[in-house]
Structure formats: C-alpha cells, structure tokens
Chains A and B, each alone.
Chain A
Amino acid sequence: MSVVDYTKELSVIEGKPPLRSLDDLISKPLETKPDKKFYIALSITLSMLGLFVIGLGLTFWYGIGMWGNNNPVGWAFDIVNFVFWVGIGHAGTLISAILFLFRQKWRTGIARFAEGMTIFAVMTAMLFPLIHVGRPWLDGWLLPYPNQHGIWTNFTSPLLWDVFAVSTYFTVSLIFWYVGLIPDFAVLRERTSGKVKKLTYSIFSLGWRFSNRHWNHYEMVYLILAGFATPLVLSVHTIVSFDFAVSIMPGWHTTIFPPYFVAGAVFSGFAMVQNVLLIIRKIFNYEHIITVDTLDKMNKIMLVTGSMVGYAYAMEFFIAWYSGVEAEQFTFVNRAFGPYAWAYWIMVSCNVISPQLFWIKKIRRSVPVMFVIAVFVNVGMWFERFVIVVSSLSRDYLPSSWAYYKPTYVDFMILIGSFGFFFTFILLFTKALPVVSLAEVKAVVDGAQPSHKDH
C-alpha cells in the first residue's frame, strides 16, 4: 500500500504526457475516418431517432389524443420526459460552473463533454413542452410579444417562468460552451491542412491568437459566466419544480420540491455523464485524461445527491403525516401501496439503495460496477418523475374522477426516440468537436504552470 501525501495536490492528468500528444489524442477522432463501431452505434441511434420522427408525426397529424393522457392524468410521459431530460442537463453546468468556482481541477477532463451533454439534453427536454401544446407550430405564442390578438402572457404562471428559465439556460450553456471552444477551434485550425476544414475552423475560432492580453479578459469572462451559471443552474430545476409545487395537487404542493428537484437533477445528470463518459473513455483511449480518480469523485457526488434524494423521499412522508392533511397522507400511502406501487419501489431501489454501494471504495473505483449503478440511477430518476406526475394526478381530491393511466405505443416511440435524438447528437459531437477541452487540459498537466521558484 502506498501512502498518500496529502500535502501535495493529486495530479489531474496521469503520467505528465507531452502537450503535443494530448492534442494528437484528443483531435484524433476528428482527423480519422470513423470506424465500424461508430457506424453501428450511429445506425442504432438513427433508427431510434426514426421512431421519434414517426411518433411525432402521428402526434402532429392526429393530435395528442394519440397519447395515453386523458382526464384526470393530463400530464404524463411528455412532462416526465421533460423533467428527466432537463435534469440530465444539470450535470454539465454544475461541472463547468460550480466546480470551476470551487477550483476543482479534476473537472477539466470531463467539463467539455458534460457541457455538450447539457446542451443536447436541454434540447431534447425543450421538445417536450413544445409538442405537449398540441400544435407546435404555434409555440411562438409562449413568448410575450405584441400581437394581433391583443393579449399578453401571464407572468405569474410557473409555466411561463419555465419558458424563460429553460431558454435562458440553453442559451447561456451554449455561450459557455462556445467560449470554451474558441481556443480549441484555433488549435484545430493550426493543425489541419484540409481547405474546407481550415475555413470552418477559422470561422469558428474567430481568429483567436492565444494572446495573453486576451487570456486575461477571457479568464475573467469565464469566471463571470460561471458566476452567472451557478445560480442559473439552481434556478432552472427550482422553476421546473414550481410547475408542480405552485399547484394545489396533493403530493406536489410542498416546499421541499425545489431543493429536492435540484439534488435529483444533479444526481441523474452525473449518472448520465458517467455512463456516457465511460464509453467514450474506452473507445478513444482517454484513460489517463478521464482518470479513475475523477470517476471516483463523480461517484461521491452521486452518493451525496442520492442520499439527499432519499432524505427528501422520507421527508415527504414525514411532512404528510405531520401536516395532518388527509389528502396529502392518502397520496403518499397511495404512492407506496396504490396502483403505482411498482413504479414507486423501482424508484426507491434504484435511487436510494443502489447509490449507497458507493460508500465502498472498491465499488467507487470499479468501472463496470459503477456503470451498472449509474444505469440504475438513470432508470430510477425517470421513474421518480413518473411517480410524482402520474400517481398524484391519477388519484386527486375527487375519487369519482380517479383513473389508471396507461401509456400508448406512441408514448413509447417518443420516449425511446428522445434517447435516439440525444445520442445521435452525442455521437456526432464526438466526431465533430474535441470532447475534452484542449486548452484546459493542458493547463492542468503537471509542470504546465510556472513554478514561481524565485518569488
């Protein structure tokens, strides 16, 4: 057993590789023809995307009556998927902004990728409210603009806050991502010899020159953006939770929702980042950039947020009992033992029990085991939203209107299709852009910074 020297920071990148080799390795996928594995993966995601297109086509043509939604369950898969995907999108900004503010250097290896995932996840999420309105070509009406109808949007509605929160989140994440990409585009511009590639990279690099007079401002802007993105990322899932908490539905109308949703979002986001990264790391040989230490830290975050989520589940029960509100008490008993008990127990076992295994160091550092646990977490978090949305709605205050919700085949096509949409983007991303930030990774290699010996 080696003794760890805690007075020294652990190296983020293993083995002090020469900087040029990092460039070579990270831009390799962009410079080589994709192999067979890539095409197989792409054909799978594209077929899923095809399902998505058909499902949406059916929905547009015949209307949302094609879905299982019906009174009293007016929100179902569409909103479940929306919350699920927005949640996935939270890890990226958390990694790039909050961990940046806390000076967690280990984030550099995974930040770019997680940010990309954020963008794709938010894109996927945004589709759901847009199709849920039934006539997506009129979605412009969601925005407040002077119009010929002479009416305005309702600024006191959480659904409108959602429009602002999600679109702001998307835009700011995109800006954050692009700002991070500018120096990398410049590196690629200097590397490539192809004419079209050179032109494209030149355009996107904006003519970046690696000047320290620029880096000076650049770092400040990065700090400011991180400062903005941190409250933003917390606000987004808070506002998503307001969609529920501001209503008077039993099981929704609770003040614990905002923190509980945010913890859940980070939890599921990290699980998804971890899942996808493990694959990327394997395929592209990034083992020394995305180290086991980094993964270990991600698993610890999952352990923390998973426990927070478990605490929230328990607290909901406690408050239902403590409040003495009958409808509230019924809702929670109904969740655990009612017609949707199966969903509830899937959720509890995946979200509360499985991450507890991360207390064990061996499991935290074993790639296959953590992969499986993260898959469980993803499944569990999807079911969490299902339980919240469907079980509350299907049995509300009025027993005469109770009904059991069943999704239709179109619901499943859209659910599976949304994964196709997301993963198609991820795959294309790995081929089109450096999935690890070149500039940031180089900056944290051992010996890359001045030693300040003589000061």
Chain B
Amino acid sequence: MSEKILYGYTGLFDSPDSITHAAEKAASKGYKKFDVHTPYPLHGMNKAMKLPTSKLGYVSLVVGLSSALAAVLAMFWISAKDYPIVIGGKPLFSFPAYVPVIFEVTVLSASIATVLTMLLIFFKLPNNGHPLHGTEYMKNVAVDKYGILIQAEDEKFNEADVKKFLEECGAVNISPVYFDEEEINHKHKILEPKFIGFLLLTALFTSGISYLTLNKLLYLPPFDWMMEQEKLNPQSTSTIFADGFGMRKPVEGTVARGYLPYAFKGQPEAAGENLVNPLPVSKSVLELGQKKFDVYCSPCHGYHGEGESRLRGQFPNPPSLHSEKVRTWSDGRIFHVITDGQNIMPSYSTQLTAEEKWAAVHYIRVLQRALNAKESDLQ
C-alpha cells in the first residue's frame, strides 16, 4: 500500500468571530494556500483573508457591451440590408425601436457569461472529486461550523507548525485531509462497453424519433399544414348538389373577365382583317408575351419559334413561325390561330386571356424580327 498523499490540515471553530481571527492570523503568518469554509458568506472575511475584490464585473462589462453592439449590427444588417421592408413608414434602420431588444440581449448574454465564467473558470466546477468531499469537516462547515484549511502545497507548510498554529488559534477537531486514492487513479474509460452501449442507444433513439417526426408525425393532422380541410375539392363528390359534383359550372350567361366570346370562330380571314392588336409595344408587354410564349407555345414551336419541338416526335412538329406567310400575316390572323386553333394545333382560349394572347403575338413579332433583321436595326 502506498503512502497517502496529504492535501492539507483542517480545523473547526464555533463562532464567526473566532474564524475571522484565525483567518487574519493565517494571512499575516504568510500562508497563501489556505481557505476558510463557512456555511454562508461572512462579512469582513475578504479583508481578513486579504482577498482582492472579485474581477467578475469586468466579464459582465465586456460581454454586455459587445453583445449590445452585436445586437445593433445584427438588426441593422437584417432590417436595412438583407430584408429591407418599410414598416409603419419608419426608416429601415430605426434605432429607437431596437432599444428594447438591445437591452434584453445585453442582460441575457452578460448574465449567462458572468455566471458561467464564475462557475467554470473561476471555481473550476463541477468538481465532485475534490479531496474535501466526503470528509467530516465538509459535513460540519455545511451546517453550523466555521472551518479553516491550510494546504500542503503552501510554501510555508510544515505539518507540526500548522498543527500548532491551529491549536493556538483555538481550533477543534484538527485533522489531516488526504487525496482520495481512487479519485487520483481514476481514468475515464471511453471504450467501456456500457458507455458505448449508451451512445448506441441514444443514437438509435434520437434517429428513430427524428424519422418518425419528420416523416410521419408532420403529415398527421393537425400538423399537416391544413392539408385536410372540410371544404369541397375540385374532384371530390358532394352531397350538397343534386348532380353529386363538387365542381360547379359558372352561372348561365356569365362571362369571366378577359374571356369574352370569340366573334370570328372559323373565320380566319375575317379575323385577320378586323382584329387589331390593342396593346402597345412596351417592355412589360413583351415580357408578358415572352413568359406566356415560353410556357404555352415553346414546347411545340421551340423557344425561337423555328419549330424545334421538345416533344421528340410524340406530336407532329409545327412549321416555323418565321415563314414568309406568317411574317406577312396581320396580328389578328395570328391571334385567330391561338384562339381558334388550326388543324391539329389546339385552341389556347382556356389557358390565355385576350391580353396575354395579344402580348404573345407581339413577342412572335420580336422573334421574327430577330431572324430577319433589317439593315436599319443595326444602327
């Protein structure tokens, strides 16, 4: 059996006055590594032990100020740079409105930082392996005794001297404290089967829960983004109407906006002569036309109207829109093809409003002009 390693000598006192005296004496005798243990803080003990004022205030100051600054910068970046939205006519960066948040952030981060610094850095807690734990001494100072400890590490430490010193001060229960053998020799065994088993179980559990939440739970009511609603959907049957359809036809004789009945059904030539494009050629009109053309026409006619269909032969390729014929057609004539269809090309009346069709016609003109540019266009 090896020799036990001495941690220090402890002694107990009964009254706050006597412990204060003892602390004063220990400090003036030149002991550096000594400590006083009391069930509650004693007034004047800092002075008796010659402890400097705690520096934790600086932690609060630095963390508090820097997080205040961080909060201002973050709000500036968010509200004025990344997501600028005018709310209530206020400037994008409206400092007065940020004051509450700045204040809260400051208090929150400063308090957390101060407490964590104290516990983790200043006190080096948690530390349940300290030699004082589990001693009779600790049991006493926790309740109603006042104890002093002089550590063996101290330069002036000398067993006989310290014992004598404590006796002179009037301490009772003077006793040595040793390091706990088990505690010193203890090694954290990461590869212990129990620990690995625990890790595995945790992994299984968390992944199982996440899988179920993300893939099952989120699709159950009421979490399902209101997918299930008590309303009639287009294809569902209805008990309200006699015909059992959930979908209803518009009331007889009504006309939806932009869908006036077409006057030149089956009369391409008349349409070409009488219809005039009502839209001006402007950037927004052309952009609308391009959008509609790319969505509704380009699958067959190609993005450039040259008949380069993307349907890979599943539908006959249409002729080019750059032909002499179509170029000389009036706008009304092209409008007629879109509205009424032509041979195997279907009508686009249900998909496009009149305005959108006219815009598409303008856009076709742009495409045509692009392939057959005039000399003057170059200037």
Residues of A within 8 A of B (CB): 18-20, 23, 60-61, 63, 135, 137, 144, 150-152, 154-157, 160-161, 164-165, 168, 171-172, 175-176, 179, 183, 186-187, 189-191, 202-203, 206-221, 224-225, 228-229, 231-232, 235, 239, 242, 438-440, 442-443, 447-453
Contacts and interface: CB of A to CB of B under 8 A. Distances in A.
Contact of A212 (B37, B53, B90, B123): B37
Contacts of A151: 83
Contacts, number: 201
Contacts of A168: 104-105, 107-108
Interface string B247-276: 000000000000000000000000000000
Interface residues of B, number: 70
B100 interface: yes
A160 B94 CA distance: 15
Nearest to B16: A450
Contact of B17 (A210, A221, A450): A450
B141 interface: yes
B103 interface: yes
A203 B127 CA distance: 9
Interface stretch (B42-50, B278-286, B329-337, B341-349): B42-50
Given A156-B94, A225-B111, A235-B104, A439 B39 contact: yes
Contacts of A179: 115
Interface of B: 16-17, 19-20, 23, 35-46, 49, 51, 53-54, 56-57, 60, 74-75, 78-79, 82-83, 85, 87-88, 90, 94, 97-98, 100-101, 103-105, 107-108, 110-112, 114-115, 118-119, 122-123, 125-130, 132-133, 138-139, 141-144, 221-223
Given A137-B223, A154-B87, A439-B39, A216 B46 contact: yes
Given A207-B133, A220-B54, A451-B17, A442 B40 contact: yes
Nearest to A21: B144
B140 to A, nearest CB: 9
Contact of A217 (B20, B56, B222): B56
Contact of A452 (B44, B104, B132): B44
B123 A221 contact: no
Contacts of A209: 37, 130, 132-133, 138
Judged by DSSP, the binding face of B is helix
| B94, B143, B222 pick with most chain A CB within 10 angstroms | B143
11 contacts: A168-B105, A190-B143, A207-B128, A209-B133, A211-B37, A214-B123, A221-B54, A224-B114, A228-B60, A449-B42, A450-B43
Judged by DSSP, the binding face of A is helix
B77 to A, nearest CB: 10
A418 to B, nearest CB: 21
A206 B125 contact: yes
B56 A190 contact: no
A220 B56 contact: yes
B17 to A, nearest CB: 5
| B39, B125, B130 pick with most chain A CB within 10 angstroms | B39
B60 A187 contact: no
Contacts of A60: 222
Given A144-B78, A211-B35, A220 B126 contact: no
A23 B142 CA distance: 10
Contacts of B139: 190
B122 A215 contact: no
A210 B87 CA distance: 54
Contacts of B40: 183, 215, 439-440, 442-443, 448
A221 B43 contact: no
A447 B15 CA distance: 9
A218 B41 contact: yes
A216 B51 contact: yes
A242 B36 CA distance: 49
Given A156-B94, A217-B122, A228 B111 contact: yes
| A156, A439, A447, A453 pick with most chain B CB within 10 angstroms | A156
A443 B104 CA distance: 32
Given A156-B97, A164-B101, A207-B125, 11 more contacts: A18-B144, A164-B104, A168-B105, A210-B38, A212-B46, A212-B49, A217-B123, A232-B104, A448-B40, A450-B19, A453-B17
B138 A172 contact: no
| A150, A164, A189, A442 pick with most chain B CB within 10 angstroms | A164
A419 B12 CA distance: 48
A390 B134 CA distance: 60
